[in-house]
Structure 1
Amino acid sequence: MLETILTDGLTPEEENARLRAVVLALMDRSERAQSSGRPMGQLSHVVALEQQIRTRTRDLAETLDRLRVANARLSQAERDAVNARNNLADALEAMGEGFAMFDATDTLTMWNSRFCADLPDVRRRIGPGLSFRDYVRIVSDSPALNLPDMQARQRWVAQRMDSHRKRDVNFIVPLVEDHWLQVSEQRMASGGTAVTQTDVTGMVRNERIEHAKLLDEQAQMVRATLDHIDQGVMIFDAKARLAGWNRRLRELFSPPVDLLATGTPFTALLNNLMRRRQLGRGNIRAALTDWVNGPPFRPPLTLEIVQDEGSVLELTAQAMPDRGFVMSFTDMTKERRAIAEMHRLNETLEARVRARTVELESARDEAERANATKSRFVASASHDLLQPLNAAKLFLASLSAMDQQPAQARLTERITSAFGSVEQILGALLDISKFDIGAARAKPETLALAPLLDRLREEFTPVAQARGLQLRVMPCRAHVTSDQIYLKRILQNLLSNAIRYTDRGRVTLGVRRRGGVLRIEVWDTGPGIPEDKQTDIFKEFTRLDPTGSDGGMGLGLAIVEQACALLHHPLTLRSVLGRGTMFSVTVPKVSAPADDPTARPAPEPRGALDDLLVLVVENDADVRSAMMGVLEDWGASPIEATTLSEAQTQIAELGVPPDVILADYQLDGGETGLALIGALRAQYGPLPAVLITANHSPDLITQAEDSGILLLTKPLGLRRLRRLLQQVPLYARDGDGAGAQPAARGDHSYWLRDPAHED
């Protein structure tokens, strides 16, 4: 009950008054109780009431004690708060900067005497409850703020309120009389804002002084630089008055001392130089005057001045942003004399070269005439000798049909064989002579391969069986475009060569389809051809085994190569020592004629470059973009890279290696296209590759050839590049993984060679 009577927050006087009322009420109740006629009951009631009064009095005393302790603590807290506030005020006053604090509602709650001390009119209007917006407005209206007009002050208010939204901001406020105030705002955890004002006038003025010193030092450095360059320099201001010059200018023109002074007009200097003929003759004066009087942003002017004594000067005039301009004079006398001497030497050298060229052309013409005479003689003699040889063969045939003694029969057989060899040699010489004198003419036509293959099977099966070999001719019903006579001669020479150099095993003639072309291949199981001999075997009168009795004269492959070149049929050689050799001839495939009963409908051949995946590695963005466009126009599918890592990433993303690589030799970071191709081949196999470079070094050419890489020099011949890319589908790798081997230099297939896959 005592808790309901005593309430927190009452003063001791109010508590005592309330207790007195309670005592009076109790005494009144006791008196009314005594008025009843029961004394004993009243006495016991009085005793109980006295006991309650004692208990209530004790509780009241304890409560009063607690109240006195709480009052004492509250008084101490109030004294501490006052002391803390006084200490904070003293600390703020001790600050050398102006300070103010706005609460979370942007209302001013505390500030020191230095706050807005540099703005006296604002200082007088600072007081409790001032909002931050009103504070900014008052400051913007102050005449102490160095702003030019009302619009500038309005913009300053907008910028100030915008920066107030930031958590931490610092800015400089310009004041009149060259004073500067730095204002810093810091958002507090309670949401309020602490504003600090610092006078930075001394700092700004010191910075100006240092900047002026720096400009002076830069001016001295510029002066020293001008005095040490090889050009004479004059600097003019926006009014065409001399502002600077260097020592080299005095050496070139030796002008009067009074003219080389700051402020001398350009016209005065020009008149002096022209009068002393230091600027040569001609319209130099008009050209310079028109340029100086031209628009502010005029283009540079360059003139060549030839002085009377023969010296050559190059004048360059350049406008500056401040409407001034600079003129420089470079002595080009030595360079011009060197160029003139070089021209004289070039003319002398060209005359000698022309004379030597005439001599060489005369010698070449004489050699060509002698070679043509020899070739015509061989052709004529071979043709004339074939007639009596044919007659002799008829006589030998008649003689063989007669009854002869065994010795005579053996002799007749040997004579027939000897005449056959002579006939073959004369026929080969006749073919070679036709190629030499340019008399060979091809007549391309559509022909079926099946009859040609049947004739070759019938012709060479007995020859192969005589040597214990198996000859397999795979059937083919396709049609091609070629010269029937030369194509047959090519295949005859290849089969004859294969049978001649194969001791055991088999010889196979077959046809493979490669897109829109056919590849006719001749395989053997002979000893193979060493790599260093694979080019020599196409030379005339070259044999790998000159001691062999049936090795021929070494003309067959020479005829094959020249006939393939005449027909534009690419020739390929692939050989592995101890395993055999493969020659192939690629011919264009065509549809069967309409009147051919064996013709079958066939799908249109795919374009030579359609969907050909080409990896272009080029570090120059413009060249790479142009190459990608050309390849896309040709129907290829190019991908681009600048380094080996990018190329590997591109291939990994596609999941398949490219059909061919076009790589620039010089790449970024010291990489080379040669090394890049080698790395990709080591990872993905013998990929066809072309190395493109402006380097004509013989060593680089040798390295590319040794690596089986075609080297094309810049500027790139697009017709040749396209012709080479068209060969890629024709020389795709076979299932055995062997790389293509060159037939000879000059054959389009040579560049697809990969020595790493020849075993």
Structure 2
Amino acid sequence: MYSTSRKRALLLTLLVMVGGTLLSALVAGRYAQQRALDTESAQVRRQLDLYAQTLQQRIDRFGTLPQVMALDPDLQDSLSRPLTEAERQRLNLKLQRANSVTRTSTLTLIDHRGVAVAASNWDQPASNVGEDYSYRPYYQQAMAKGTGRFYGIGMTTAVPGYFLSQAIYDADGKPIGVIAIKIELRALEQEWLQSTDIVMASDAHDVVFLANGDEWRYRLLRPLAPNERAEMLATRQYADRSLQPLRSRTLDVLADGGRMVRVEQPALPRPMLWQTYTLEGPNWKLHLLHDASASGAVGRSTALAAGGIWLALCFLSLFIQQRRRLAAHRQRSRRELESVLQQHAEELRTAQDGILQAAQQADSGLSRSLAHLPQGVVVIDNEQKLVAWNARYLELFRFPSDLVKVGRPIEEIFRFNARRGLLGPGPIDEAIERRLNHLRSGRPHMRESEKDDGTVLEIRGNPLPDGGFVTSYADITAYKNTARELRSLADALEHRVAERTRDLDEARREAERANRYKTRFVASAVHDLLQPLNAARMFVSVLRGKLQGDARELSEHVDAALAAQDAILNSLLDISRLESGTLQTNVRAFALSPLLETLAREFGIAAQSRGLKLEWVDTTAVVVSDEALLRRILQNFLSNALRYTPRGRVLIGCRRDGDQLRIEVHDQGPGIPESLQGEIFEEFRRLNDGVEQERGAGLGLAIVERIGRLLGHRIGLRSTLGKGSVFCVTVALGKAEAVVTPVPVVAPADPGDESPLRQCRVWSIDDDPRVCAATRALLERWGCNVELADGPQAALEIASAFNVPQLLLLDVRMGEWRGPDLYEELCVLWQAWPPVILVTAERDDALKAHAAEQGWGFLPKPVRPPALRALMTQLLVRHRGPGG
């Protein structure tokens, strides 16, 4: 019965260990795999968003080109009458030059019959001139609706592309032809080749027309309806291309809309994560197939770790249980032994002489009272001679049958064991004498001893009242082996934990290095992008001053587009500065009312243009914050409120909250779903319910969140679907006596004929030739004499004491030269210190502070011409002094 219950307990323990290991491995592996898959899906979604923005920007880049070219009087005149060969040739050359500037694939002018009158590829073998395009949808759409869009394969060039068209009207408003441009999108496929994922774009019929692999292009994501096939044949959209199906089977649907699929044709060896993004303008879809096998590896690793932890816990539990069992067993044996010893001691005290005489006459010293003990026990008298022992004692030491006898001195037993090496290394006599002295001292002892065969004995000795000694020997080999195994397992687990900790530290350091690299890359990229943008805005300013009527209005639209691009780049730079911690703050106490009044006045005009009403509630509160950064937060709140409010009103006001003030912006927009309220504060996150023409880049709220974190201001959001949203920022209240009234800055008067800029000698130094040319044109329009508009080397070559400029415009970063260092070199050559304006794309607060200390001007790129003009006038007036 005992054996059966023991087997049952062992079987139950094994079942718990094995079952628990499998269950913990399964649950942990599944959970870790799902978490890893969700993380990968989010990363894939963000990557797909970037691809979609790149594709949309490439199309938007040419969106207004057909509209601009449709206003060309030469094109209108060429469609209103028959052309001579010379006129047709001039028209071809004009389209060819325009195509080389705009860098489209093809520009084609089509008459009211659908026949191409002229084209930019007139000199190519596959020229469009004379071809009939009346069957093409972009021609039919433009003639019917004014504009058209269509993706297809060119019938003459056999090159696929995206066609944008615009109708050309006569004086009576009747369409007389179409101007069409073709944009090649194959460059996107080359960019997609850098990705290890599969990237595809499909049209409204779910036909894949762009992909980073030839086997994926011209695949059908679903069967085509008969009317769709007829339409594609009529328009010859994909010419003679064979459309093969892309067969896949959905295995699982993720929470964010992604799918785990098994692609069967073309065949892929493993399941893929499929994410889809819908483009609103062209009604296309972007697809990305990502190998998610890494999540399976994470799940397997986690499963192994969970199983190992469960086994370790089981072994630890068994170890603790074994320790308790051994401790209880030793206690029980000790109590039994003490009881026996007390009994023997009592008998020895009452009849010592009779016991000794009976012991000496006995043939064997085996004691029946000690026979049941699991330990080996030996008893000696006060003369250190054997009195009694049990069979377990003989079994443990394997003594010969004639060695252990009553009355045998214990010294002979020690010597026999010493010859077998059981007393350890060293001289035998010293080891024996040391043990005999210990017995004579009558002190209790406990120690462990290991024999040559691996047996470990626990030796306990206790003195008897009459001077004798009793010693017990317990075999604890199994306990020691279990303890060693558990220590080995614990060491192995500790080693794995240390390795995992090192791996995590390395991953953290790698992530920090990547983040620092990203911050430096964004700052450098924005700097390089601001250079041509600065030149473009100056050229547009010069152009706007020379144009009238529609052309001037068109130049203002171009300037507005450049200003929007400027805002996006500045937002990216702000995010970079916020992440790198280089943005300086100026926290002080100031009255909030002037800031709210200014914002209400600025955004009130924009609200009226949209048919909205902007209301604000005045306040006497004093807050503690950085006024410029707080203004930036509220500007983003108001801009979003106006963008997403189709009708009604927008309100900005304050609520007190203890010793803090909550500034709130209320709108009457569509509201924000709760699932998206956390995501909209991320970069490039934006809702699709705003005004299409004014969709932002998705950076405003990301900057708000970072500024709030920098200033310690809490950013809040409440929203109700269908009713509107409330964005708020909570700032600390200040005291009125802590407010410092700023010194008003007198703006320079509008320059007239007596402006200081008239005949002013100006040098402009920049390493970008486009910026130099734009600056020269702008300054000369203001009446300045621009003696130099070139780079650092040219300035050093001609600088002397005879050509000191009255004013210097100086870039900061120019290859191996820095602006302030170059200024020092030039002043030595000039032997004078003319006023200087640093014009730079760097947003360096330390550089700005240094310029202020030196009395220099400082303007960030891209330069707004009115700001440059005002600062130049101010510096010239200050340099000339009151007596000017």
Highest RCO, 1 vs 2 (Cα 8 Å, sep ≥ 6): 2
* TM-score, normalised with respect to structure 1: 0.39
* TM-score, normalised with respect to structure 2: 0.34
